[in-house]
Amino acid sequence: MTVPPRYRLSDAEKDALLVEQAALIERMAARIAELEALVGKPKKTSANSHIPPSQDGPGGKARKAKRGRKPRPSRPGVARPLAPDPDRTERRLAEECPHCQTALSAAGQRCRQRYDHIDLPEIRPVVTRVELFGGRCGSCGRRYRAEPLATMPPGTPFGPGIRSLLAYLHHSHHVSFERLARMLKELFGPTISEGAIANAFRRMGTAFDTAGAAIKAKLLGASVIASDETTTRVNGVTHWQWVFHSDAAVLHTIAPSRGRAVAAAVLGAHQPAVWISDRYAGQQELG
């Protein structure tokens, strides 16, 4: 507001100036009252409001340090419980007094401390040389050879223990083929190629199919089934991982389609009383 010199104002101009000043005084008084109301209130910081710590400004950490940290409430100590069935017990008797070096006997000594020491034994692969004997039959003249053990078939040197470990690490912990080969060699000693790992997984297909069929049979015995699907990648191509579950079984299957045909193929002739889904068109009217 520009105020002209007093001697140049007319009475009408003075009246207008007084009105303008009165309005300004009223606004300033309201602002002063607002600021006075804020006196004594703490400044908003990340500790007492939703603003981020970056807006606390300088000195925020120092103020926080002055307040100090409240002591944590005490709680009883918790120790690892002793194993109920240890593999062996190591009893140690004192041979001499640590204070005066007097020789001690077993008499009068009792257990003063008890704890568990847990460790892994040396893990080494067990190599079994299989020799199949045979010859020529003296009756029919044809050659014969002994049958191998079912648990040690020819064709692969790696037994079910190694194969199951590889499958567990790869499918549950997503360890790559290259790292699987490295881990097997560094931890246990045997060397294995990535191709041998792939072949081992391929041979497991029959066992997985059998287990999957048992899970599916248990699933189809339920009256309430729920399903959902999400995208996944198979050899760089988008597929869908479907899950069907009841209170007794959970079945996972991967298909190149998100359509109703996948759910229909799983259900077959079975029609549950209740079908639970996210109302996607491919999963409706199945129950």
pLDDT digits over 81-121, tens only?
A: 999 999 999 999 999 999 999 999 999 899 999 999 999 99
For position 162, what pLDDT does the model report? 94
Is residue 38 packed enough to be buried (19+ CB in 10 Å), middle (13-18) or exposed (0-12)?
Answer: exposed
CATH for 213-283?
3.30.720
CA distance 116 to 82: 6
By percentage, how much of the chain surpasses pLDDT 90? 56
CA distance 45 to 51: 6
CA distance 192 to 125: 13
For position 286, what pLDDT does the model report? 67
Please state which of the ranges 63-72, 83-92, 110-119, 245-254 shows the lowest mean pLDDT: 63-72
> Between 205-219 and 194-203, two packed helices, what is the crossing angle to 10 degrees?
40
Per-domain residue ranges of the chain: 8-38, 157-203, 213-283
pLDDT at 39 over 80: no
Closest CA to 200 of 215, 180, 182: 180
0.85 cut: is pTM over it?
A: no
b/e string for 131-165 if b means 16 or more Cβ within 10 A?
eeeeeeeeeeeeeeeeeeeeeeeeeeebeeebbeb
